[in-house]
């Protein structure tokens, strides 16, 4: 089966462009908003959307995303309802749709069933931030069999040996953390160029950078050296604070997309 995420990055690279990857919590502030906002973000210039599957014990999420997941869970959002939503909207969007999901959810459902249900719904890839890399190969292979990307996280403190292992396990792209700690907004743009140069010694995959990326200036700084910028907390916060979450999200992402750097 074709890998939509690989295709998106291949096309952007050929055109000398970089990608914007907004993160939203599935079901926040409601499933209706999630359904509407995906199309709005595509119009605003997003290329891939990360759908956070709500989890009761977020691994690396700061207070904004943790609170959004808590509210979504209280509203009854489940992996099954997220898949049903994706199945409904998949025919209407060309966006890449990636599930950000805890390994404990995958294990509870069963890796084979989770991958099957996700792929059948139209999910294009997985980010599994808390999986043990010693057992990640099986899940990566299950995802690959269904044309889904599989991305793991590289932290600022990750050793070169572990970078090589993570890069070898990842497909589609590698997710690089711009800072140590949890998700959340930051005031200053990250100085990631040396880290990106190091990681490129271990992989030819596109590199997407997240954690603390929260302004158009941050997006410009990230995509000057990396292939994609991931923005989460700043977007989720605006959606929660606005009387019209869809309009707020679209306006913010449009500003971010306008700051993407071209590749020469």
Which one of 3, 6, 50, 117 is the catalytic residue? 50
Q: Is 188 exposed, middle or buried (0-12, 13-18, 19+ CB in 10 A)?
A: exposed
DSSP labels, 46-78: -SEEEEEPP-SS-SS--HHHHHHHHHHHHTT--
| Residue 117 falls in the annotated catalytic set | no
Cβ-contact 176, 199 below 8 angstroms: yes
Angle at which helices 136-145 and 160-169 cross, to 10°: 30
DSSP labels, 205-239: S-EEEESB--SHHHHHHHHHHSSEEEE-HHHHHHH
In 3D space, the residue among 55, 119, 113 whose CA is nearest the CA of residue 87 turns out to be 119
Which one of 3, 61, 103, 227 is the catalytic residue? 61
List residues with catalytic annotation.
50, 61
């Amino acid at each position: 089966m074709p890998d939509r995420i690989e295709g998106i990055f291949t096309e952007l690279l050929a055109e000398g462009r970089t990608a914007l990857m907004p993160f939203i919590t599935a079901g926040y502030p409601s499933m209706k908003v999630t359904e509407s906002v995906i199309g709005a973000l595509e119009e605003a210039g997003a290329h891939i959307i990360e759908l956070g599957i709500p989890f009761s014990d977020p691994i690396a999420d700061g207070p904004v995303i943790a609170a959004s997941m808590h509210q979504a869970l209280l509203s009854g959002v489940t992996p099954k309802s997220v898949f049903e939503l994706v199945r409904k909207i998949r025919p209407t969007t060309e966006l890449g749709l990636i599930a950000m999901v805890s390994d404990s959810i995958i294990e509870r459902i069963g890796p084979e069933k989770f991958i099957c249900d996700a792929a059948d719904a139209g999910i294009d890839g997985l980010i599994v931030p808390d999986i043990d890399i010693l057992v990640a190969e099986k899940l990566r292979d299950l995802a690959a069999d269904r044309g889904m990307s599989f991305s793991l996280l590289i932290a600022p403190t990750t050793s070169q040996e572990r970078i090589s292992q993570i890069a070898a396990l990842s497909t589609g792209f590698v997710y690089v953390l711009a800072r140590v700690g949890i998700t959340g907004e930051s005031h200053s743009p990250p100085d990631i160029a040396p880290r990106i140069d190091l990681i490129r010694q271990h992989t030819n995959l596109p590199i997407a950078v997240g954690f603390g990326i929260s302004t158009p200036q941050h997006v410009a700084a990230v995509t000057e050296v990396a292939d994609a910028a991931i923005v989460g907390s700043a977007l989720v916060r605006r959606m929660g604070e606005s009387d019209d979450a869809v309009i707020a999200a679209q306006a913010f992402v449009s500003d971010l997309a306008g700051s993407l750097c071209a590749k020469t």
